[in-house]
Chains A and B, each alone.
Chain A
Amino acid sequence: MSITRRDFLKVSGMGAASALLAGCAGMGASGAKPKVVVVGAGYGGATCAKYLRKWGPNIEVTLIEPNDKFVSCPRSNLVIGGLRNMDYLTHGYDNLAKHGIKMVKDMVVAIDPAKRTVTTKGGHTFGYDRLVLAPGIDVRTDTVKGFQEAEAASKVVHAWKAGPQTALLRKQLESMADGGVFVMGIPGTPYRCPPGPYERISLVANYLKKHKPKSKIIVLDSNPDIVSKKPLFTWAWNTFYPGMVEYRGTNAVTGVDGNRMVVSTEFDDIKADVMNVVPRQRAGELCAMAGVRNDAGGNWCTVNFTSFESTAVPNVHIIGDSISAALPKSGHMATNHAKVCAAAIVELLAGRQPEAAPVFANTCYSDTSDTTGGHVANVYRYSAEKKAYVDAGGGGATPQGDELNHAYAESWAQNIWAEVLS
C-alpha cells in the first residue's frame, strides 16, 4: 500500500490538515503531546485536570498538590457544629489517576513564565504549554494584631481552610462551659464563601442551644450588614436561637490577645471563651510567583473570562477563589471556572478560539439548623461588551430554611465531591 499526499488529505480531510498546522503552534518545541500543568487539587484544580483529560485526551496533564487528601471547606461548618466528623469531609485523590492525570505530591515554590516551567519544593521542574493555577486563598493572619502568636498557642483559629483548625475549633466548643462566649470575626468583602460565616454561626448556635443554652455568640462583622442571605439567617437566629446571637456590623476585629482571651475592635475589648476570627484574604502566594496577582490592590488575579488566562502573563490561567471578579468565591463556582478554562485550553492548543459566550450558575446551600437549610442561586452570562460575567436575572435566595433544602444540601455535597474527585 502506498500513501500519497493526496491520499493523506483524503483520509484526514482539509479541516484536520489545517488544524494540524495550527495545532503545531501549541504543541511545544519537541512536537510531543501538549503539556498542561495544573497546580492545586482543590475544587478548581482537580476539576480542571479531570475535564482537560476528558475533553483533550491528547493532552498530558500533570496535577501538583502537597496534601495527601482533599478536605472540604463546604460542609465543614457541620463538623464545627458537631453534626458530622472530619472523615466526612476527607476524600482521597486515588480516582483522579483513572483519567490519566499524572498526580505529583509536592508543593510548587517557583514559576518561570518566560521558560514556561514550574519548580517544586522536592526539586523537580515541569515544563508546560499552558499552566493552570488554583491555589485558593492565603489568609492574611498578619493583618490582625496578635493573631499569629495566639494562633501558634492554639488560642485563636480562622478555620477558613478545612483541616486541623476545623477539628480544633470543634474541640474548643466542646470544652467551653455553659454560659461561655463564642466570638466570631468576619472580614470585609471579598472573601471566600460569603454566606460561610453566617452558616457557621447558625450551626454553632444549634449546638450551644442543645448543650450549653446559657452561652452567647458575639459576631463582629467588618461589613456594615450580613453579606449574604440576610433574611434566611435572620429568620433562623430569631426562630431557633432567640437571644443567643448578638450581631454587630461595622465592627472589624483589629487584634486578638491569646493570653487574656480578648478580641479587640476599634470600639471595644471583648472577653471570649472561644475566638474564631477570620482575617481578610488574597489569592494564594502561588499566583504571586507567576506575577499574576495583579489587580489594583495586588490581592487577586485579573483574567480574560472566556479562557481564565491571566491578563498579565500569557499561557498562565487562574481559576477558583484567586481571581478578581464580581462573582461569589465558592467551590461551586470554582468547578465552573475549571470547566470553561479546560474547554478553552483544549481549543487554544488546537489553534482555535474558545467559546465566546460561556454561561454558568452558582449555588450555595447553607444549613440553618440540624433540620433546615436554604440556598442562594444565580446564573451568570459572559458579556463581551462588559468583558465580565453579568447576572442573568431570575436568581435569588430562600427567605427561610426548610427540610427540603436541608436534604438537597447533603445531596449537593455528595455530588460535587464526586464531580471533583471521581
Chain B
Amino acid sequence: MRVEVRLFATLRRYVPDLQVGEALTLEVPEGTTPRDLLAQLGIPPDDVKIIMRNGRHIGLDDPLADGDRIAFIPAVGGG
C-alpha cells in the first residue's frame, strides 16, 4: 500500500532533501504502523510528539491504511 508522509519543523533534518511543504510517498506493506515508518526514515520515536493521520491524532502503533496522509510533528508551540 501507499502512504503520504509529511515531516514538520526540526524533523525535516532527518530527510535533508525534503523541501518545505513536500511530502514523501512511501510504498509499505499492509499493517505498517507509524513506528515502522519512523524506523524506515531513521527518526527516533522520542523526537516525535504528535502523529496525525488524515488530520486526526493517532498512536505509534496504530495500523495504517492505503492512501493515508501521515504527519510527524515534534514538540512545538506558538500562539
Q: Do A and B come from one complex?
A: no
Which residues from chain A sit less than 8 Å from chain B, CB to CB? none
Which residues from chain B sit less than 8 Å from chain A, CB to CB? none
